[in-house]
Structure 1
Amino acid sequence: MEKDFWRAIIANKCAVPDSYTPSQLLPELLENLGSLDAELRDDLSLFILSSWLEGNKYSPMEMRAMVAPLKTNLKHGLGESGTDSVFRRTFSAITLAELVHVDNKGAYLTREEVHEILDAGLEYLLAERDLRGYVPAKGWAHALAHTADLLMVLARSVHCEKNELQRILNAVSAQLVNSGQTHYTHDEDERLVNAIVAILNRDIVEAQTLADWVESLSQAKTEGWKDAYQDPSANRARHNVKTFLRSLHYRLTKIETPPPNCDSLLVSLREGLKVITPWA
């Protein structure tokens, strides 16, 4: 379909066009997730697909059938950096997030299926090497932010309990500690914070576990990142960890309804930030 076809759907408040069904248009919408045209990929196809998913335009069977190919897409070109394959991976991640979000509102996925999405999402989080934010002429890639959105909705899922939430925490820590290849400058920290706040709101992870998790970030390197400035890669990772911890601290101080364990976590965050920036 030409872009004008999709533009007309959005102009008509995402009403399904005459002579078509959402099911008939689904294969093309999914294929467009890998398009190099930012408008077609993001502004049109993802927007319409998300609207129709949330508007119950697809049956539970159809939505469940989307999961497997989207998980496969997460491995499409995985390990490459600076190539166009990233768009199919990252926009598959955010579409999986939309599917889990719909399940959170009205269950259609099984516990096993949600856990399989979690497995795929965590594997992708740690294996993605193309962490560009905005790509000139091609639009948003934003793999880390999109994966953070997936982790956020998974953290809200009733199918994810303490063990699964701890796995998310550990994976976020591992990703940040080993993020020296990229200096995060496109609000990736804020999107990761959303996932952590979702975990805190579940109130099933103990305060000590959260304190240990902060320490896994602040004490990841010998003497708390003290010598990181001597190595460009280590210093980028230090910056990413510091920015994330600061963003989480700020969010918890400003949030209207603080989550459980907020006070003790704030103490841990302040102590962790002192280790990373002792001169501040």
Structure 2
Amino acid sequence: MIDWKNIEADDCAVPSDRPMGDLVRELSRALADPDPLVRDGAPYTVLATWIARGTIGTERRLELGDEMATRFTDPRVEARTFAPLVLDMLVTAGDFKAGWVDAFERWYPAERDLRGHDGTLGWLHAVAHGADLLASLGHRPEVAPVRMLDLAAARLTAPTSHVYDQMEDDRLARAIARVLTRTDLSERDAVGWLEPIADRFGTDNISGPMPAHISNCLRTLRLLHILADRGVRPTSELPAEPLHHRDAVKSAVATVLDRIVKR
């Protein structure tokens, strides 16, 4: 087995004694390993570095993306939830296939295991990892931004008993805000995705404790309102970008929040 820690320590230099195809296949397996020290350790760093540097050829990167799209149906949660991380690496590097969007769209709102962290499996982060991919896809010219906004709404309205506890609401709000910086968004599309949220949660009759799905939605929209006011940074090194139709978005988010709270 390849010692990925040594490769990471050597500035991710490519081993000369193994074909690239074998290396990528082993990295792909490592990114689905149930051992968090393997899945989220040196193999992750090496794969991210090789993709960013263009070390892996285009054809092999597209094959890797296809494998990740298939992995959304894997029976193991750690395999499913790390697939969007790899796809995000690829999309950020410039790779894209329409089938990846279709597979992601089927998985994201349907995923039921929303734990951020597990004592044995380590980081899972389905919502947060999916949010990162949603933001990247939302900036691809091939993907209509409203499609990613509707997908975010579908994730927020999907039933769950899990309360976000690892800043998933922040990651999802930032992803939505990044999509909302698209200047080709009409005002109608910039706010229309909120309607199913208002319809779903504004009519719920709650007599006991706050349900998890409503709590998650409220916290996500609260941060989105702040980002609409102040803008969102694509990365920590770049300045904040304004949301397109920011005033309309702020007003629509505030209206939905008010409707949910007063239900």
User: Same fold per TM (> 0.5)?
Assistant: yes
Alignment of 1:1-280 (within 5 A): 1=1, 5-77=3-75, 85-103=76-94, 109=96, 113=97, 115-161=98-144, 165-221=145-201, 224-225=202-203, 227-230=205-208, 235-255=211-231, 256-278=240-262
Q: 5+ residue gaps in structure 1? A: 78-84
Deviates more, 1:202-211 or 1:62-71: 202-211
SS at match of 1:202: coil
Choose between structure 1 and 2: higher helix proportion.
Answer: 1
- Alignment identity in percent? 28
RMSD: 2.0
Instruction: For residue 62 of structure 1, report the CA deviation from its aligned partner.
Output: 0.8
Instruction: For residue 174 of structure 1, report the CA deviation from its aligned partner.
Output: 1.8
Normalised by the length of structure 2, the TM-score is: 0.89
Q: Give CA deviations for 1:221-270 in whole Å, capped at 9, x if unaligned.
A: 3xx1562353x6x7111111101100111222232331221111111111
Distance 2:207 2:89 in 1: 39
Instruction: For residue 67 of structure 1, report the CA deviation from its aligned partner.
Output: 2.1
Instruction: For residue 123 of structure 1, report the CA deviation from its aligned partner.
Output: 0.3
Instruction: For residue 61 of structure 1, report the CA deviation from its aligned partner.
Output: 0.9
Q: Give CA deviations for 1:202-238 in whole Å, capped at 9, x if unaligned.
A: 12222223333223213323xx1562353x6x71111
| Structure 2 contact 69–100 (Cα < 8 Å) conserved | yes
Instruction: For residue 69 of structure 1, report the CA deviation from its aligned partner.
Output: 1.7
In structure 2, give the amino acid aligned to 1:191: R
Distance 2:206 2:195 in 1: 17
SS at match of 1:156: coil
In structure 1, give the amino acid aligned to 2:85: I
Instruction: For residue 68 of structure 1, report the CA deviation from its aligned partner.
Output: 2.0
In structure 1, give the amino acid aligned to 2:183: D
| Structure 1 contact 173–217 (Cα < 8 Å) conserved | yes
Distance 1:27 1:174 in 2: 33
